[in-house]
Amino acid sequence: MNEVKEKEMKGLNGWLMLAVVIVGFLGGVAGAIAGAVITEGAGFIPGAILMLIAIICIPGFKVLAPNEALVFTLFGKYHGSLKKDGFYFVNPFCTSVNPAAAFGKGGRKLSLKAMTLNNEKQKVNDEEGNPIEISVVVIWRIRDTAKAVFAVDNYVTFISTQCDSSIRQVARQYPYDVSENGDEKSLRGSSQEIAEVLKAELQSRVNNAGIEILDARINNLAYAPEIAAAMLQRQQAAAIIAARQKIVDGAVSMVDMALKKLSDNNIVELDDERKAAMVSNLLVVLCGNRDAQPIVNSGSIY
Per-residue pLDDT of 125-149, as tens digits, reads 888 888 888 889 999 999 999 999 9
pLDDT on residue 147: 93
pLDDT on residue 246: 79
Mean pLDDT value of segment 21-29: 90
Is residue 161 over pLDDT 80? yes
211 band by pLDDT with thresholds 50, 70 and 90? very high
Distance of CA 258 to CAs 194, 234, 244, 248, Å? 48, 36, 21, 15
Q: Is the pTM of this model over 0.85?
A: no
Q: Report which residue type is found at 230.
A: A
pLDDT on residue 242: 74
Is residue 268 over pLDDT 80? no
pLDDT over 90, % of the chain: 35
Is residue 1 over pLDDT 60? no
Q: Write out pLDDT tens, residues 57-105.
A: 999 999 999 999 999 999 989 999 999 999 999 999 999 998 887 554 5
- Sorted by where each begins, the domain ranges of the chain are 12-97, 115-223, 229-287
pLDDT on residue 252: 79
pLDDT on residue 72: 94
Task: Note the CATH number of domain 115-223.
Answer: 3.30.479.30
- Hey, which bits of the chain come out as E strands? 12-13, 61-64, 68-74, 77-82, 86-89, 95-96, 110-111, 115-118, 122-125, 131-142, 211-223
pLDDT on residue 29: 87
Q: What is the mean pLDDT of the chain?
A: 82
Which is higher by pLDDT, 203 or 4? 203
Contacts of 156 (CB under 8 A, 6+ apart): 100, 103, 105
pLDDT on residue 216: 92
Is residue 92 a contact partner of residue 56, using CB atoms and an 8 Å limit?
yes
